[in-house]
Structure 1
Amino acid sequence: MPDVNPSDLYARFQTLLPLIVSNALNVLGAIVILIIGLWLSGRCHTWVVRALSKTPQFDAMLKSFFGSLVRYLVLTVTVLAVLSQFGIQTTSLVAVLGAAGLAVGLALQGTLSNLAAGVMLLIFRPFRIGHKVQVGGIIGTVKELSLFWTELVTDDKVQVIVPNSGVWGQPLRNFSHYPVTSHAGEARFRVPEATDLAAATGIVLGAAEAHPRVLKDPAPTLLLDRTTTENALEIVLGFSVAEDEVPKVKSDLYRTVHDQLAKVTPTA
């Protein structure tokens, strides 16, 4: 084993000491920057969400989206600052990331257009959950609005997923935006005069109140009228429906009430 001169070791140590100290300071600075960046990104996310929460028009999903966007921007700046601590040229790195982002954006332009349309829908809110809308040739009730698609449920309980770019980029009909004028209907039930009127009117009124398409406001009304037939009365039911489906509702009521009235009508 060759002899090692202590003076040579000391000289080498003296030469390496500035480099060790410099690298140690760089590592320590990078750790401090990383810790501060992680803390600041979380705080910025919270601040943005709180600020947007003061505006009732902002959707909860949109608040989270903008909060996450600010958080990732802070994290990106933090990573670039950490790399610069080690002497890495971040300018060229930013250019590479920009080119890569452009390539990814071109590859995912359809998805990004859905994202942009989703943000616009959440900001301007042309419809809300539960509204009945028509998008293109599809009519359904809005069940969910995400950043990428809108979920509709048709009247026959079929799920339809529409990309947000298709919702935002074409005419939209919202049937629930303005109050709908109710349509009034009338149904007449002929009963003999000897019928138990309390039971008969209770059956008719109960059938109307139980029908899903009969409006609660205005509530159904009952009147009695005399027909031209001897010993006969008519129970006149007045009701209202939201859509123009009076004939269908009348048919449902006649079918429901017929058998029940027979139980309280005296036989000849």
Structure 2
Amino acid sequence: MEQLQAFWAGIPDLSGMAINLGMTLAILVIGWAISSLLGRWMRRIADRSPRIDPTIVPMVRSVTVWAVRIVVLLAVLARLGVQTASLVAMLGASALAIGLALQGTLQNFAAGIMLLVLRPVRAGEFVAIGGQGSGTVDEIGLFMTRFVQVDGIHILLPNTLVWGSPITNYSRNKTRRLDMMLGVRYDDDLEAALAALQALVDQHEGILADPAPQVMVMEYRDSTIMVNIRAWTPADQYWDVYFDLHRHAPQALRQAGLRSPIPLREVKSVPAPVEKDKAAHA
């Protein structure tokens, strides 16, 4: 009986192990689900609130979700009896080694933080990255920034290229200035051309009255006087106004009785010289 009792005492408590394993699994599943719900909740709140910049939502969501998941994993390991203190130290050493091996990736992460803090670009803005391309900013991630070109093609650029390149932001200001050059013949009525174009821009719905649009002579070329239209439009209507003016400005000049400018060359005929001996013989 004593040997039998010793044998049973040496067998692990299977019921306790099952309970511990079940609780560990429950912590893992519930913690993972909470992190996912927290990420969706943050995105939903950001979509509903106009005060939250949508540019920072993807990065903050990713950092929050994975921070919760790391805590859950540490809690699971502690439940299983693993010494988390030594594990954290080992993870720190591993992180240092990985950081040295992935310096470029960490530079992209740091550049992404700078893009979010200083915000030279924001989601929904149309920008041009010097030498890299142009498009509408769709998302600034931890390591990559996604743009959508006007033809619908997606461009992914490392954050270091975005941060380290000249950025031209076409959407940050509410208004943009439009410049358009047209040619008028020298022998046409210049004042009539200026008046017709001025009436066109003054009556256009997409052109702002303040600052007032201007029509002015800019330069003189071989056979053409160059006239410049300078007007301010809302940034979101710039291209609509641009294409509309290119369509109606030539029509306004033709209705005013002006002709389309074409290159002109004056050709003179010079009589051939008469040879002296032929003239003497005659």
TM range (shorter): 0.5 to 0.7
The amino acid of 2:18's aligned partner reads A
C-alpha RMSD of matched pairs (Å): 4.8
Give yes or no for contact 1:58–1:123 (8 Å, CA) kept in 2: no
Q: Which moves more between the two structures, 105-114 or 120-129?
A: 120-129
Return closer, same or farther for 1:151/1:75 CA change in 2, 3 Å cut-off.
Answer: closer
Give the 5 Å matches for 1:88-237. 88-122=82-116, 124-128=118-122, 133-136=127-130, 140-142=134-136, 144-147=138-141, 148-149=144-145, 151=147, 162-169=157-164, 171-178=166-173, 179-183=175-179, 217-218=206-207
Q: TM-score, normalised by structure 2?
A: 0.53
CA deviation digits over 1:160-215, x for unaligned, max 9?
Answer: 764322322455333443322344766669xxxxxxxxxxxxxx99xx9xxxxxx8
Gapped runs of 5+ residues in structure 1? 1-5, 190-203, 209-214, 220-237, 262-268
Give yes or no for contact 1:132–1:139 (8 Å, CA) kept in 2: no
1:71 correspondence with 2:65:
yes
Give yes or no for contact 1:62–1:119 (8 Å, CA) kept in 2: no
Give yes or no for contact 1:62–1:122 (8 Å, CA) kept in 2: yes
Could you tell me how far 1:94 is from its partner in structure 2? 1.4
Question: C-alpha separation between the residues in 2 aligned to 1:85 and 1:161?
Answer: 41
Could you tell me how far 1:89 is from its partner in structure 2? 0.9
Return closer, same or farther for 1:100/1:117 CA change in 2, 3 Å cut-off.
Answer: same
Give yes or no for contact 2:59–2:140 (8 Å, CA) kept in 1: no
CA deviation digits over 1:147-168, x for unaligned, max 9?
Answer: 21354859xx999764322322
Return closer, same or farther for 1:252/1:162 CA change in 2, 3 Å cut-off.
Answer: farther
Give yes or no for contact 2:108–2:159 (8 Å, CA) kept in 1: yes
- Aligned partner of 2:218 in structure 1 is none
The amino acid of 2:176's aligned partner reads V
Q: TM-score, normalised by structure 1?
A: 0.55
Give yes or no for contact 1:186–1:250 (8 Å, CA) kept in 2: no
Return closer, same or farther for 1:98/1:51 CA change in 2, 3 Å cut-off.
Answer: farther
Give yes or no for contact 1:59–1:122 (8 Å, CA) kept in 2: no
The amino acid of 1:115's aligned partner reads F
Gapped runs of 5+ residues in structure 2? 186-195, 209-228, 258-282
Return closer, same or farther for 1:58/1:121 CA change in 2, 3 Å cut-off.
Answer: farther
SS in 2 for 1:88: coil
- Aligned partner of 1:24 in structure 2 is 18
- Aligned partner of 1:201 in structure 2 is none
